[in-house]
Homo-oligomer: A and B are copies of this chain.
Amino acid sequence: MNHLIPLDNLVAALSRLPGIGRRTAERMAMALVQDDKGLMRILANALLEADDGIANCERCGNVTLSAINPCELCTRHRKDAQILCVVESPADIMKIEESGGFQGRYHALMGRLSPMHGTGAADLRVDRLLGRIADEGIAEVLIALGTDVESDATASYLKEVLSNREVKVSRIAFGLPAGSAIEYSDATTLARAIQGRQAI
């Protein structure tokens, strides 16, 4: 693909999408060039309209229509509005909403503590979190982060920051996933499931 600068630029831009390597980007670019249904322009317009029409909720960080900010999850009635679920990203909010297992408010940190990726405490939306706890009369902060080292570090940091606030701090349970068998579980999952055992 030498000397076709617009094609090179398209491949370069597509390569920046998550999980898209150079070869896949080249294949996509060729498919776009060959498409006879105007996909190139349809995709460009969809991107421009999303760029204009979608924003992050100024309160919880969730994605929302630019015209509806704060977002619906922040403003409409929620049974457990005094519980604030802290997640890494808006994608997590969608996942938890889909599960139907939570009826409170959300707060996306927009990242995790990660010295390796240069993400420090100041990069997370912690000040905003503290402000909301006071403003919205939050009684419990539920930390819904994953099980890796960075999530654990972030959870520990949040616990410390919240220790002098009058708020309960909890974290989602770790254990066996639905439909799994002891026999096929890994050691860490089993250890955490045993550690987190509950009276029945």
How many angstroms between the C-alpha atoms of A51 and B45 in the bound complex? 12
**A191: CB under 8 A from chain B?**
no
Main secondary structure, interface of A, reads: helix
Assess whether B47 is in contact with A33, with CB atoms less than 8 Å apart.
Answer: no
Known: A46-B10, A47-B47, A65-B6. A31 touches B53 (CB 8 A): no
User: What is the size, in residues, of chain A's interface with B at 8 Å between Cβ atoms?
Assistant: 51
Assess whether B30 is in contact with A90, with CB atoms less than 8 Å apart.
Answer: yes
B residues within 8 A CB of A49? 6, 9-10
Smallest beta-carbon distance A19→chain B, Å: 7
Assess whether B63 is in contact with A27, with CB atoms less than 8 Å apart.
Answer: no
Assess whether B54 is in contact with A4, with CB atoms less than 8 Å apart.
Answer: yes
| Chain A residues engaging chain B, CB cutoff 8 angstroms | 1, 3-7, 9-10, 12-14, 16-20, 24, 27-34, 39-54, 56, 63-65, 72, 89-91, 94, 110
